[in-house]
Amino acid sequence: MCAWTSDEILRATGGVPGHGWSGTPLFSAICTDTRDVLPGALFVPLRGERFDGHEFVHQALASGAAASLWARDEIPEGLSADRLIRVRDGLEAYQALGRENLRRLGIPVVAVTGSVGKTTTKDLLASLLGVRFQVHCTRLNFNNEVGVPRTLLELQPQHELVVLEMAMRGPGQIRELARLAPARVGIITHIGESHLEFLGSRDAIADAKAELLDEMPESGVAILPRHSLFFQRMAAHARGRVLTFSGEGPADWTAVRVHPLGLEGSDVEVRHPEGISKVRFGLPGRHNVSNLLAALAAARELGLTCEEVSEPLAGFRPSGLRTEVLHLPDGTTLLNDSYNAAPSSMKGALEVLSGAQGRRVAVLGDMLELGSAEEDFHREVGEAVARTGVTVLVAVGARSRVLARAARLAGVPTVHWTPGREEAWSVVRAEVRAGDAVLIKASRGIGLDVIAERLRGVQER
């Protein structure tokens, strides 16, 4: 993290030093967690639903912070104003500092959003761009109003590009993030069903994602899914050039042939504006080909060729709990895709399972935030389970009753429904045999990653 002068902090945040200000002229870092406070740092107290960072300012100063921002009216007894900088809102100040760090370093931004596939595309793009550039990217799930400025504050002078993932739960949130970090290249991966509960329609989801494009400069390049029903709606937001990708039909970047290699990925023949390239992609699943094409289009815009990125493409593995293929000692294959789920990604994961050897077992949990159509979506996934050739289905959670019923009616031989993951784990332990291929997937709130870890632990003992 870069050092900051007091003047830079005050200018970026619009802050006012407290009475008798005695803060350091140079801050070593910016911190929001007392466990991460560095000597000479500036502490930023953020508020959440269940916490208020102002309650920890005294602890941060005692741990070595040189000063703290302060957004409350009153200063409690025992806390001196001479090490405080008053600001209107702690989060706004934190975001302003992130934006200022990006501005003063002048690092180009590649931003990725979408209903599904954004993390995989972000990870893939960071891997490809790393062939030539010093790249920093969003870590873990730091993709919201706190995570994006945190990522921007992690930037150092040696970085040449930053790849940001931007997430939202409602309108206006992508716009807020895009204003912090206007993108030179902006990618929208897919418009799906996630967030229907909050936004009401896929039109509204497309508009919310397209806020990314509204904040891009005219010199920016928007990379959009040509096969999407919402392509024209999103493209109308672009102020600059638009490039398209599609795994399903004509586009600037399209897959003219995909040869699956089972769980080892696929060989893909890619048609692009400069010709045709053949690449080996280490991530299995036809649904992941669209993510590949979006990442290749962005990498080319930044000067890389398909040939240059062949090595990271072939060896690519996404960040944890996403299409993670594990071969356990007893011959069981575990497909751990438990990070999150939506109808389209569920069907994609089932398609990956269909390419596995051995008896197929699917452990599927509720898909959340789907609104009034959630029963229809769970029914569709249940029917897809049958088409995949699954022998055993373990459905987890109240919403997945519908999924289980649809799978049973569609002919899945063995179907279990359980209310939660503990009951599901008992069924999994009884049903899974050596040599099976087991898919685990659900929305994050269902917590099926615990089952994946337990299954792995039992088999590795």
For residue 112 the two structure tokens come to: 């990725």
Question: For 262, phi and psi rounded to 5 degrees?
Answer: 65, -135
- Which whole number is the average pLDDT over 11-29? 91
Average pLDDT rounded to a whole number, residues 50-68: 94
Average pLDDT, the chain: 94
Task: Answer whether residue 321 shows pLDDT above 90.
Answer: no
CA distances from 40 to 15, 23, 24, 62, 64 (A): 18, 9, 7, 11, 6
Average confidence (pLDDT) over 357-378: 95
Report the relative pairing of strands 437-441 and 360-365 from DSSP bridges: parallel
> For 198-233, what is each residue's pLDDT tens digit?
888 999 999 999 999 999 999 999 999 999 999 999
Indicate the angle between helix axes 421-431 and 449-460, nearest 10 degrees: 40
**Residues 116-132, mean pLDDT to the nearest whole number:** 95
Would you state the pLDDT for residue 65?
Answer: 95
Compute the average pLDDT of residues 184-201: 89
- The pTM for the full model equals 0.91
| Angle between helices 90-105 and 173-180 in degrees, nearest 10 | 40
Predicted confidence at residue 169, as pLDDT, reads 87
pLDDT band at 78 (very low <50, low <70, confident <90, very high): confident
- Provide the residue type at 315 as one letter: G
* pLDDT for 356: 92
Q: What pLDDT shows up at residue 348?
A: 93
457: buried, middle or exposed (CB in 10 Å: 19+, 13-18, 0-12)? exposed
Mean pLDDT in residue range 158-179: 96
The mean per-residue pLDDT over the stretch 167-175 comes to 94
What residue ranges define each of the domains in the chain, with the CATH number in brackets?
4-90 (3.40.1390.10), 106-314 (3.40.1190.10), 324-460 (3.90.190.20)
Give the pLDDT confidence of 346-358 residue by residue, as tens digits.
999 999 999 899 9
Across the range 319-327, mean pLDDT stands at 83
* 268-311 pLDDT per residue, tens: 999 999 999 999 999 998 889 999 999 999 999 999 999 999 99
Instruction: Say whether pLDDT at 461 is over 70.
Output: no
Residue count of the chain, please give it: 461
pLDDT of residue 71: 96
pLDDT of residue 459: 55
